[in-house]
């Protein structure tokens, strides 16, 4: 099997990152914390501030993205064989950038979660 490598342009890299982060799935992630807030309020809880809700939603999104990248890093060897067109094996996203993105998104998620807990 011959793999023809395409030139790595900005558009190719952007497409690789969007595929790595599975862009269509990201729109559903903030809904989980919002559903939790709604359930808690309906159960007789106090409505949290807009800042807390926004921070929790952002934290969930950032941590989800970090997890997606971590998953592709861990599956790299398997993807080299079974899915060579995925962003990491095809080198649309290089491994160092993937690690950096995962660490930055994970740290951002933890910071947002911490900030959500700080009273207004």
- Segment 50-89, tens digit of pLDDT: 999 999 999 999 999 999 999 999 999 999 999 999 999 9
CB atoms under 10 Å from CB of 113, counted, come to 16
Contact 113, 51 (CB under 8 A): no
pLDDT at 45: 81
CA gap 76, 81 in Å, rounded: 9
The answer on pLDDT for 44 being more than 90 is no
pLDDT at 8: 80
Tokens of 118: 């700080």
Contact 21, 105 (CB under 8 A): no
In the numeric block, the tokens 């861990």 are attached to 74
- Segment 109-118, tens digit of pLDDT: 999 999 998 8
CA gap 113, 29 in Å, rounded: 15
């Amino acid at each position: 099997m011959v793999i023809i490598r395409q030139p790595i342009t900005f558009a190719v890299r952007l497409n690789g990152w969007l595929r790595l982060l599975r862009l269509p799935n990201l729109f559903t992630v903030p809904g989980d914390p919002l559903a939790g807030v709604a359930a808690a309020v309906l159960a007789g809880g106090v409505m949290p501030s807009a800042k807390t809700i926004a921070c929790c939603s952002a934290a969930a999104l950032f941590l989800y993205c970090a997890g997606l990248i971590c998953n592709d890093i861990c599956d790299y060897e398997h993807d080299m064989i079974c899915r060579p067109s995925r962003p990491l094996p095809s080198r649309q996203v290089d491994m160092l950038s993937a690690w950096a993105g995962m660490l930055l998104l994970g740290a951002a998620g933890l910071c947002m979660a911490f900030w959500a807990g700080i009273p207004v």
